Amino acid sequence: MTKTRRILVLAAGVLTLALLVPATPAWATTRYLSDMKEVNHAECCRDDGSYSVDGTVYYHSLKWGLNGEEEYWAEYSLKKKWTTFRTTVGSWDDSSTAGPLHFEFYQDGNLTWSQDVAFGKAVKVKLGVANTLRLKLVVINPDSNYWHRTDAVWGTARVKS
């Protein structure tokens, strides 16, 4: 289901038309991953919305809940039409467990970025994605206790042309 926003058009001070347009219009130069359908993904629990990392709220974000020693990943089709990917990664401030997470990015199957991020820290990521068909986001909860759930956030994850 496509997310939409209602736009009202005024002509000569009179309401003349109401249109529905996609939350990220096709002609936009920026597109949020929260508005894109995953091409492939691991079974898990993904939520889209606004989430805080290190005290800052990020809109149009992805949040994935992981128990100990779990890995979650999702692939997005970029169709070689975007040039830059940006996000801020970290643990959701309201996670039930304050553990570190390991984040990775793959472009067309090649690892291009990897980092451990401690709870209460936010790391900004900027990747060049020109000529990339598939972007894969991976997060791993390294905690050996299955019951230690931590929520990973990809804050304001977006691509630009």
Q: What is the pLDDT of residue 7?
A: 43
The whole domain housing 109 covers 27-160
Q: In the predicted model, is pLDDT for residue 122 greater than 50?
A: yes
pLDDT above 90 for 53: yes
Question: Mean pLDDT, the chain, as a whole number?
Answer: 84
134 within some domain: yes
Going by the DSSP 8-state scheme, the letter that residue 43 receives in this structure is: S
**Gyration radius (Cα) of the chain, Å:** 17
**Which of 14-18, 99-103, 136-140 has the highest average model confidence (pLDDT)?**
136-140
Report the pLDDT value the prediction gives residue 25, as an integer from 0 to 100: 57
DSSP state of 122: -
Cα separation values, 11 from 5, 6, 8, 79, 94, Å: 20, 17, 10, 38, 46
Domain assignment of residue 95, yes or no: yes
Is there a domain that residue 15 lies in?
no
The CA-to-CA distance between both ends of the chain, in Å, stands at 24
Closest residue by Cα to residue 37 from 7, 62, 57: 62
Q: Give a yes or no: residue 63 inside a domain.
A: yes
Where residue 61 sits, what CATH number does that domain have? 2.60.120.1060
Burial of 95 (0-12, 13-18, 19+ CB in 10 A): buried
Total of domains in the chain:
1
Domain assignment present for residue 12? The answer is no
Angle at CA of residue 105, ends 51 and 76, nearest 5°: 75
Is the predicted pLDDT of residue 5 greater than 50, yes or no? no
Q: pLDDT band at 23, cuts 50/70/90?
A: low
